[in-house]
Amino acid sequence: MGKIEKILKELTVEHTHLLKKIKEFQERLENDFSDELIDEILKFIDEELEEHARKEEEDLVDAIEEADANFDSGALIFGHQTLVDGIEDFKTVVEEYRKGKSSQKDVVKYADRVFTLIKDHFIEEEHFLFPDILKLDLERFE
């Protein structure tokens, strides 16, 4: 297995793991809301999701460049900007909520928005971006 193929496999496994956590968070947002849940979601975003994005923006991009594939790696990073914006909005609402300036309903709404953005993003990567990258990896040996 090539280096790129190996990283893509790892990233896809991570997607499954992250989506499982998101599903749990969404169930708790609906049925078991608490301040601790908000902290857990923020930690999930800042640590696990952040590390996943770093793997794509650094490790995967490095592997692509190393393979000398003529791939526009900007697309990988560009796809993350929408997520970054959604996360920023969520964090703003959490800050307001902690000051009593926004409601639980708003926190849930913005958390759900972030989770939907993440899900859509993973689908885009697995269905379009990753297969395109893999094709490049394989074409080099033709």
Residue 141 CB, nearest approach to Fe ion (Å): 25
- For Fe ion, the binding residues in 52-111 under the rule CB under 5 A are 56
Binding residues with Fe ion: total (CB under 5 A): 2
Candidate ranges 42-50, 64-72, 85-93, 118-126; the one touching Fe ion (CB under 5 A): 118-126
Residue 125 CB, nearest approach to Fe ion (Å): 5
Candidate ranges 21-29, 34-42, 59-67, 125-133; the one touching Fe ion (CB under 5 A): 125-133
DSSP string over 31-59: H---HHHHHHHHHIIIIIIHHHHHIIIII
Alpha-carbon distance values, 105 to 77, 93, 127 (Å): 31, 10, 33
137 makes contact with Fe ion (CB under 5 A): no
Select 35 or 58, whichever has its Cβ closest to Fe ion. 58
Select 35 or 51, whichever has its Cβ closest to Fe ion. 51
Select 35 or 50, whichever has its Cβ closest to Fe ion. 50
Alpha-carbon distance values, 60 to 32, 64, 69, 72, 82 (Å): 37, 6, 12, 12, 20
Provide the 10 A C-beta neighbour count for residue 3.
15
Of 105, 76, 107, 70, the closest CA to residue 90 belongs to 107
Which residue ranges make up the site for Fe ion (CB under 5 A)?
Answer: 56, 125
